[in-house]
Chain A
Amino acid sequence: MLRTTSTGLNRKNSKSLIGISAALILIVSSFVQPARAADPITLTIWTFGEVIQPGLQREYQKLHPEVKIIPIKNDVDPLHQKTVLSCQTGGPADIIAFEVPYSGYWRTGNRPNCFQDLRQMKTSDTNAAAGIAAGLSATDIKKNYLPWRWEQGVAFNDSVIGIPTDVGGLQVAYRVDLFKKAGLPTDRTQVSKLWPTWEKFIAVGKKYVAKLSAAEKKSGKGFIDDAGSIYSAVMNQGTAKYYQADGTDAGKLVYKTNPQIKKAWNTTVSALNAGIGARLGQFTSDWNIGMNKGAMATILSPAWMLDYIKKQAPETRGKWDIANLPGGGGNKGGTELGIPSYSKNKQAAFDFLTWYLAPEQQLKVFKTYGLFPSTSVLYNDPELLNYKDEFFNNAPVGQIYTQGVLKLKPIFEGELERKIDTLFGAGLGRVASKKMTPEKSYALVISDVDKLFKN
């Protein structure tokens, strides 16, 4: 008897508990509701490096007080994995940045479906204040951009999945003081004349290294930061890389036969054998330190890397200058911004994109962060052409990079471009560390790439 009463009591207690918590939930949710009614829009941007600049972000938020922008940064490769996963599961991003080497992946197969077709979007009239007309679709703004660069954001089913942020024009950043010490010319036009070809570049490197003292050599100093970086520079001067355009979406795999690969590989190997490199992998901690210690006299620097050099080696201000890349125009990197299909704020995201990537904003980005504009309408703009950078000895950075970019030819980017490129890079790494002969390492690269297409 006593037992049943006690359980009865317990039950009563638990019932009232449920009642109280239900009431609590109601009260709490009624507080939350009115806050939602104000409807601030949060734009989550998955990005890397300096693609989204805080300054411009603040400017946009001032123009659009209702929009809050949250950039989340990752490294390029992890970000790609995150994007792949989120396409399967959905995710919180409203805008995603992807690098051009990954563009082939997103443009082929059924993967364009992961991104919103930007031809279907129209700018809303909220952007009028920021200078963007209402009712513009991606097709309407296409004319502002460098045509081949624009195509890198167009999927093979013709949907526009990304808008280009920048062109990674490639030039040579060199240290004036170190060139002087080695008895080389220091003026940028004369320096450019030193190396019309890669062979000449390597020869200059040998000359430079020969002038280094034994102690300097022992501490790992060299002419170029990483001789391996020559590889991608030469590759991008060709007309095809690992894939060749053949009219199909996927392109034709030519990694075994393309002579440009052999040329890039052999040029790099001869640079490695000449010992002109400081063997500092780019974006490693040793590279950052080496930049400050003058461990390298040259860096093959895309426009976007200039800002990185400024930030990592502030003490070298004024000691750098920019010369032309051997062998013609050069390219490295470049980014697309797209809207994932699962985004819940597509309209706000598109409004932001069209504003952010408009010529006016790209010019500002170039001046503050060095990312070279993808909007070709700017290439005649005196503001771009006359831009000089004090950090780089007042080099006419705008003019030099514009000339380089205008020389560029479009190259087909295939599905696994980035992955294959990484394997070739690893192959050169084995040659650089003398763990394998170039021939053996090359054979291993080919068998590693073969494996990518099995299973």
Chain B
Amino acid sequence: MNGRWGYPAIAPFFVIFLIFGVAPVVYSVYISFYKWDPLGVSEFNGINNFTFLLQDSDFWIALRNTFSIWALSTFPQLAMALGFAWILRNRRLKGKSFWRTILLVPNITSVIAITIVFQQLFGRDYGIINSLIQLIPGVERIDFVEGTLSSHIQIATMITWRWLGYNTLIFLASMLAIPDELYESASVDGASRWQQFVFVTLPQLKNTITFVLIVGTIGGLQVFAEPQQLGADGGSTKQFLTLTLFLYNQAFLNNKYGYAAAVGIAITIIVLIISTINFFITRRIASESSS
């Protein structure tokens, strides 16, 4: 009786997964071998989409931008989140839950709203950041959106602002799980607060840091809304064109669904490579901490 009903019971998940998960993947692999315009001509194109992709300078620029924005948004954010968590962990801090709630507010703000506000902050002529920069004598206005590095900084700032609180809370949770005895014995040994942070807290957070890094990498490869809002085409020299934006533009701006599918497959391969690297690093960390 139980055996008979087991499969129907789990069927809804698999049916939905087949329709919305597997089918689109199979379909996009299929159309990646076609020149595919839903309102125009569609014809078999062999591996041309893929060979063209490897020669397409825009793809390589997008790859560079994606990793640059990822690095600029992940590492400073990690350091800041650790710092904030360390402050929030402090026993003498008043209004703890207030600060924890405040930290999460950016995370529930819509990306579009964030982009609009940050665009004004970073505005070339009337942005507050440029007004501050102008106070330093001899420094020129920065056209954030036009520059390559500066536009990456602008986008990374938005991402950091949005995700900092979330990562802080994750660090805080695992910091609170570190037994007090470790700190007590460290202070008995004469360790300063900084030494305690470096030699007790950080090693204990190793797994959490790995987790945050992996989640950050996944998010980093998906950066889309922020650059799209800054300029749908990714900037005049494609300076902030990211991989997902590139894919989206090929499909929905240029109506090249086949080519976009090929880009999607390329992104999948990149993600697989990074996941493999992640896997080996995580395994090494795990074996180190168990030994």
Chain A interface: which of B88-96, B121-129, B267-275?
B121-129
CB distance from A318 to the nearest CB of B (A): 24
- CB-contact partner of A77 in B38, B48, B232, under 8 A: B232
Instruction: Kindly specify which of B19-27, B219-227, B250-258, B276-284 makes contact with the partner chain.
Output: B250-258
Interface residues of A in 67-121 (CB under 8 A from B): 77, 81, 84-85, 87-88, 109-111, 114
Binding stretch for chain B, among A126-134, A283-291, A390-398 = A283-291
A455 touches B253 (CB 8 A): no
Q: From residue A451, how far is it (CB to closest CB) to chain B in Å?
A: 7
* A54, CB-defined interface residue at 8 Å: no
Most chain B Cβ neighbours within 10 Å, of A114, A429, A436 = A429
Are B236 and A109 neighbours in the complex by a CB distance under 8 Å? Answer: no
What is the bound-complex CA distance between A455 and B59, given in angstroms? Answer: 14
Contact residues of A between 426 and 442, Cβ < 8 Å to B: 426-427, 429-430, 433, 435-436
The answer to whether residues A455 and B259 also contact, given A81-B253, A286-B124 and a CB cut-off of 8 A, is yes
| Known contacts A219-B125, A280-B125, A84 near B48 by CB under 8 Å | no
Q: Does any Cβ of A come within 8 Å of B289's Cβ?
A: no
CB–CB A286/B125 < 8 A: yes
Chain B contact residues: over half helix, strand or loop, or mixed?
loop
Check if A422 is an interface residue, CB within 8 A of chain B: yes
The answer on a CB contact under 8 Å between A452 and B233 is no
Which of A84, A285, A430 interacts with B237 by CB under 8 Å?
A: A430
Interface size class of A (residues with CB under 8 A): 20 to 34
Q: Which residue of B lies closest to A83 (CB)?
A: B39
Give the residues in chain B near A285, CB-CB below 8 Å.
116, 119-120, 123, 126
- Contact between chains at B125 and A295 (CB < 8 Å): yes
Contacts of A280 in B (CB 8 A): 125
A143 at the interface (CB under 8 A from B): no
Question: In the docked arrangement, what's the CA distance between A88 and B38, Å?
Answer: 7
| Complex contacts, B45 vs chain A, CB 8 Å | 455
Q: Render A322-341 as a binary contact track against B, CB cut-off 8 A, 1 for contact.
A: 00000000000000000000
B184 within 8 A of A: no
- A80's nearest neighbour on chain B, judged by CB, is B253
Given contacts A419-B254, A452-B254, contact A436 B123 (CB under 8 A): no
The interface residues of chain B lying within 8 Å CB-to-CB of A12 are none
- CB neighbours (8 Å) of A279 from chain B are 124
Let me know if B39 and A419 touch, CB within 8 A: no
CB of B204 within 8 Å of the partner chain: no
B48 in contact with A426 (CB, 8 Å)? no
Chain B residue at minimum C-beta to C-beta distance from A425: B236
**Is B75 positioned at the interface, with any CB of A under 8 Å from its CB?**
no
Give the top 8 A-B pairs by smallest Cβ distance, nearest first.
Answer: A429-B236, A433-B146, A455-B259, A220-B125, A426-B236, A430-B236, A81-B252, A289-B126
Given A286-B125, A427-B236, A433-B236, 6 extra CB contacts under 8 A: A84-B38, A84-B39, A85-B252, A295-B125, A419-B254, A455-B48
